[in-house]
Chains A and B, each alone.
Chain A
Amino acid sequence: MFRKYIFSLDHKVIGLQYALTSLCFLLIGFSLAVVFRWQLAYPGQPVPIIGRWLGELNAPGGVVLPEFYNQLVAMHGTIMVFLAVVPLSVGAFGNYLIPLQIGAPDMAFPRLNMASYWTYLAGGVVMLVSFFVPGGAPNSGWTSYPPLADFATLGQTFWLVGMFLLIVSALFGSVNTITTIVQLRAPGLTWFRLPFFVWAQLVTAFLLLLAFPPLQGAAILQFADRVLGTSFFLPSGLFSGGQAVNRAGGGNPLLWQHLFWFLAHPEVYVLILPAMGIVGEIIANNTRKPLWGYRVMVYAIIFLGFMSFAVWAHHMFLTGMGTVISAFFQTTTMIISVPSVIILTALLLSLYGGSIRFNTPMLFALAFLPMFGIGGLSGLPLGLAASDIPLHDTMYVVGHFHYVVAPGTIFALFAGIYYWYPKITGRMMNEALGWIHFGGSFLCMNGILFPMLILGLAGVNRRLYDGGMQYAHAQPLHNLQVGMSYAAWALALFQLPFIWNVFASLKFGRVANVNPWQATTLEWTAAPTPPIAHGNFETIPAVYRPAYEYSVPGAADDFVPQNSTSV
């Protein structure tokens, strides 16, 4: 019983553990936003309904204090990035699907896989516990910039420990993913026959493997600053609260920013690449055509992986690191936009001439394209030092990265959940509820995020806990803040049909046949649906053709499975 469901070694159970845990964190992270959106729309007014449960120290009389607002924002960022989206896209989708798509009986190291999940859970618990320590949760932003973070309340130490554990978990997971993809591909499954999703997960795993440890090093150094009294990130002659700081000094706060963004820029691609992989699978399946430019997409994603290690300082144009370095990083940033555009263009061209099936997964996948497009294109002015300087501290940046991650990545993840749900449970999700979920989410997401770009262009700073009410240039735009908040609360309501759909379809969903979407990849054609407990396949399949053989002229069906010997 424990071995089967809790301390399981089976990649499918571990994948589901990851999925359920990270969906819970997604809900928690979103709830924090629901609370602080009230403060931004109606600053200084008590939060209705839930206000009295926020605690007297955080919100006396239900009014959110500035310190508590900082905790909410910092934890919203941390939870969404490190505890929700990455574990869902890599831990859940990667774990569940990679072995099925490559024809492997399990991941290469099942025990390491289990260790990865439990380390992740421990990291998540440490992060959540920080809400209940004196001084509350970390309040220095999800980036934890020193010197602020060096002197922040106890919660910051929990953040560092939690982050350390999460990076260990990412290390276990990525070693496992790469080894599995390299070593356990079924006979005949050559590199260019791999589904695009597997390529995306492979590149992502390399980013996790190589980009995360520097933040681990940085977390160790900040931990030493906070606990042992070192001054790695503290310059000489620092004053705090009007008093000279009694430390040796000689450190460099920019060192943290370099180490942090060395992780956190590749991290952006960790967030987006698996989403592109999912969208690629769903678009090929629902246009009934091979992906347009599959090989080019693969080369682009590999190039993207390499380049993502050389763009981090475009987050630091405002630090005064010098024009030469800025020029270098804005050049690399412009270069890295090319492969992203290649992938997006290839996905868009894949639609051309297809007879498209508009089911729920496809709706989310189609919405991904323009949403990620807005997210990516709004990022170009931020990649150039000259235009970044006026925009950097404004809501524009918040709008930009939310467009990439929220209606970009999270829509792709929703698409993936609707698409692979029948694989996991053997039942289909309800289409009508799916359309409501999609339509509502699509409108509300844009209702929240597009005004952010407008506010940002008007110069509203992104770190104001009253939504900018004390600034003359922000006051006329305050009605946008109110509208955004209503959109956020409506978005929360539109997630209810989804939650209901996930649970109710387990019992009431239409029973799916083995290959309900008539797909070509191995998880649908060679493995039973729902999958068998251990080993995935009755016999390991042999692969004879590329991943997306749809509408092959002369074939009996409009899809030819990868393991089919005859056309």
Chain B
Amino acid sequence: MEIPYTASVRPDTGVTNQKLGMWLFLASEVMLFGSLFSSYALLRSGAMSWPDQSSIVNVPLATVNTAVLIASSVAILRAVAALRGGNVARFRALMAATATLGIIFLAIKSVEYRGELAEGLRPSTNNFVGLYFVMTFLHAMHVTGGVLVILFLCGPGMVMNRHDAPRFLGRVEASALYWNFIDVIWILMFIVLYLL
């Protein structure tokens, strides 16, 4: 049994199921991260004192990490373009590059965590450090999930490209949407948790 419009555009709505599903999922993610950012705003605005954030967390490493993640976003968009153009080898290389950059991001993040833990900082230290750990960890879990999906799509998942190319392209596009979304979330976190 075939589900209609999985990978082909429905004329009167102008989207595929894959794309609409991913947008809806991201809308839900906006509400999840939105609730955490709102909690941050409410706790900070109600606090008697708030620590100087940039003196606690490692801004230089996070700046490097922001650059890494932005580079990975560029890479996955180039990968989508390569797949649309039919250049499978180039697609594969760019997806691998995206995943590698994602892993580098996680590695740098764990170096950051190690430094903070070595200084004796714990989530229980104060509410800023608590929110920092909870929010960045939740984001890191999202990056991990994204890396696994991207590795699947440029590895075993590529079989689909041979027998159902439009559906495979839809999958890749949806994963690129997701990847760019968590990139945007990171940029917001970088501003709110490191710079403000």
Contacts and interface: CB of A to CB of B under 8 A. Distances in A.
B125 interface: yes
A531 to B, nearest CB: 13
Interface stretch (B29-37, B75-83, B110-118, B162-170): B29-37
Contacts of B47: 250
B126 A248 contact: yes
User: How many B residues are at the interface, by size bracket?
Assistant: 35 or more
A183 B32 contact: no
B134 interface: yes
Given A209-B27, A250-B48, A259-B35, A179 B17 contact: yes
B21 interface: yes
A228 B124 contact: yes
B130 A183 contact: no
A224 B24 contact: no
Given A183-B15, A232-B127, A105 B2 contact: yes
Contacts of B6: 108
A216 B134 CA distance: 13
Nearest to A209: B28
Contact of B36 (A217, A228, A231): A217
Nearest to B4: A184
A490 B161 CA distance: 62
A217 B35 contact: yes
Interface stretch (B38-46, B52-60, B66-74, B143-151): B38-46
Contacts of A171: 25, 28
Interface string B99-139: 00000000000000000000000111111001101100010
A252 B134 contact: no
Given A105-B3, A105-B4, A251 B43 contact: yes
Contacts of A221: 36, 39, 134
B123 A224 contact: yes
Interface string B1-12: 111111000100
Nearest to B10: A183
Interface in A102-127: 104-106, 108-110, 112
Contact of B24 (A179, A231, A250): A179
Contacts of B122: 228-229
B21 A175 contact: yes
Nearest to B131: A232
A250 B39 contact: no
A31 interface: no
A182 to B, nearest CB: 6
B1 A214 contact: no
A259 B39 contact: yes
The CB with the most chain A CB atoms within 10 A, among B6, B24, B27, is that of B24
B20 interface: yes
A104 B131 CA distance: 45
Contacts of B131: 232
Contacts of B123: 224, 228-230
A310 to B, nearest CB: 14
A217 B3 contact: no
B139 to A, nearest CB: 12
A210 interface: yes
Nearest to B128: A250
Contacts of A178: 20, 24
A252 B25 contact: no
Contact of A252 (B35, B46, B130, B133): B46
A236 interface: yes
A252 B24 contact: no
A231 B25 contact: no
Contacts of A216: 32, 35
A262 interface: yes
Interface string A207-243: 0011111101110110010001111100010000000
Q: Which 9 A-B pairs have the closest CB atoms?
A: A217-B35, A229-B124, A214-B35, A230-B130, A213-B32, A213-B31, A228-B123, A108-B17, A175-B24
Given A178-B20, A212-B31, A229-B124, 11 more contacts: A104-B4, A108-B5, A171-B25, A171-B28, A174-B28, A216-B32, A217-B36, A221-B134, A229-B123, A248-B126, A252-B42
Interface of A: 104-106, 108-110, 112, 171, 174-176, 178-179, 182-184, 209-214, 216-218, 220-221, 224, 228-232, 236, 247-248, 250-252, 255, 258-259, 262, 534-535
28 contacts: A105-B4, A108-B17, A174-B24, A175-B21, A178-B20, A179-B20, A183-B16, A209-B28, A209-B31, A210-B27, A210-B28, A213-B31, A214-B31, A214-B34, A216-B32, A218-B35, A220-B138, A221-B36, A228-B123, A229-B124, A232-B43, A232-B127, A232-B131, A248-B126, A250-B43, A252-B43, A252-B46, A255-B42
